Amino acid sequence: MSSKFLVDLSSDYEKLFDSETGYDVIICAGEESNIKEFHVHSNILCVRSQYFRSALSNEWVEKIDGKLIFKKLNISSQLFSIILRFIYCGNIELKNLQGQDVLKLLVAVDELNIQPLIVHIQEFLIKHRIEFLHQNPIGILETIYQHETLTDLLNFCLEKICEEPKILFNSDKFINLKAPLLELLLKRDDLNMDEIEIWEKILKWCFTQQNMENDPTKWNKEDITKIEKVLHKFIPLIKFYDIKPKDFFYKVYCYKEILPQELIHNLFRILYNYSYYNNETNPYEFKLLHRSSQDGFTTRSFHKNCNNKGATIWIAKIQGSTQLIGGYNPLDWSGDDNDWKSTTDSFLFNITDGKDISTAKLGYVNTANYAVYCGNYQGPKMGDLQCKDTNNWTYKVDSTDYPNVGIPANFVVENYEVYQVVKK
């Protein structure tokens, strides 16, 4: 029986709202030519809403002919009518509203601090208006982010974007995203994007924000300072150590001027396992397989220690200098004589000054079929770079198998080391 009485009560109050009988408040809502007057009752407004209880008690509310005059011109008359009807009778119908209008209504009830509607409208948007997020993800996110009470909807939108990043990152308006929102996204662990993609998108966003050309060779000191200032919050949020070596060298290292030098050094040390490298954040383990200074320059010991170990990286010091050279073999060193192995992921590198990691150059294989040579009587050989039985090495500088990274034609190696590369 109580339910029937509540229904009747709700209906009676709705009739009071429609009839405007005995009203003492005039509310003007809407924009410019679409302003509408609502004739309502202060007692009902104050009982049902803390916002109106405070607003109508203020001395600054204008009073004309015994009627309180209240203006709310930032909320459309259509949406304000929906809100007032809810205040009077506790009913609201959202299914005929488009997603964007529902969001505007949510912002309005948040401003008016109508808590039951704040919860209800968020739930409605999440359950019934998912597609509206695709229409204007930037605008929607920024609107929600400005209102602290809309955490449920904000979390939902962030989760959907993390599931389908293209919703936001492929949007033409992505470049207009506010920095705090971009930072919020990057702090999440469920963003379904490769780190190199994230890096490229951040760069695009940064250069557009600064109206700068994406060409490090044309930057001056002032440009570098501006970019560093924009990116300093985002750099720690990018998992550079998860970026593939090829992408790092071609898509990250060229921006070394705007990256912390410690980061650059650590990344190189990960790739090359530089002798005194020690970094607990390294996602790879490097297991020493072969050290020529201990085992001698014999191909027998090399193959004994390094065959059947999978991916390896080797580094050699050229005698009489600080120059380091080396290479990465993603395959294996085992094989018969004249056994060339094909891969597109191997590379050679040359660090002209071993004390200055910025002098490093790297070149990925050009001719995949001549990437790695695995003969039983041959030490490390990649393309036309080869280790002989002695400490004499040779390299054909005009080779087309790998890019020319400055490795000399004939040189003597003081010692070299080979490490097994294992993902932790």
The rounded distance, in Å, linking the Cα atoms of 292 and 326 is 14
| C-alpha distances in Å from residue 185, one per residue of 137, 156, 231, 237 | 13, 12, 15, 10
Confidence of residue 20 (pLDDT cuts 50, 70, 90): confident
The CATH architecture to which 1-91 belongs is 2-Layer Sandwich (3.30)
**Stretch 116-137: mean pLDDT, rounded?**
88
Query: 266, 315, 323: which is closest to 291 by C-alpha?
Result: 315
pLDDT, tens only, 184-237: 999 998 999 999 999 999 999 999 988 988 888 788 889 999 999 999 999 989
DSSP string of 206-236?
HHHHTT--S-GGG--HHHHHHHHHHHTTTGG
Highest mean pLDDT among 20-24, 117-121, 285-289, 331-335: 117-121
Q: Which two tokens stand for residue 27?
A: 């509310």
Per-residue pLDDT at 264: 64
Confidence of residue 370 (pLDDT cuts 50, 70, 90): very high
Question: What stretch of H or E contains 354?
Answer: none
Averaged confidence pLDDT in the chain: 84
Per-residue pLDDT at 280: 40
Q: Is 217 exposed, middle or buried (0-12, 13-18, 19+ CB in 10 A)?
A: exposed
Q: Which residues pair with 417 in a beta bridge?
A: 291, 315
5-19, 31-45, 235-249, 259-273: which range is least confident on average? 259-273
**Stretch 97-120: mean pLDDT, rounded?**
92
Q: Which two tokens stand for residue 209?
A: 């924000």
Residues contacting 251, CB < 8 A, separation 6+: 196, 199, 200, 243
Per-residue pLDDT at 101: 92
Neighbours of 283 (CB within 10 A): 10
19-23, 36-40, 150-154, 293-297: which range is least confident on average? 293-297
pLDDT, tens only, 31-72: 877 899 999 999 999 888 889 988 887 766 788 888 899 888
* Ranges for all domains in the chain classified under CATH 3.30.710.10: 1-91
What pTM was computed for the model? Answer: 0.61
Per-residue pLDDT at 208: 92
Residues contacting 191, CB < 8 A, separation 6+: 162, 165, 185, 198
Q: Which two tokens stand for residue 130?
A: 């998912």
More confident residue, 422 or 223: 223
Confidence of residue 245 (pLDDT cuts 50, 70, 90): low
Confidence of residue 356 (pLDDT cuts 50, 70, 90): low
pLDDT, tens only, 382-393: 999 988 665 778
Strand-strand pairing, 67-72 and 25-29: parallel
Per-residue pLDDT at 277: 36
DSSP string of 128-179?
H-TTHHHH-HHHHHHHHHT-TT-HHHHHHHHHHHHHSTHHHHTSTTGGG--H
The rounded distance, in Å, linking the Cα atoms of 238 and 266 is 14
Q: Is 305 helix (H, G, I), strand (E, B) or coil?
A: helix
pLDDT, tens only, 175-186: 999 999 999 999
Percent of the chain with pLDDT over 90: 36
Q: Which two tokens stand for residue 345?
A: 């992921």
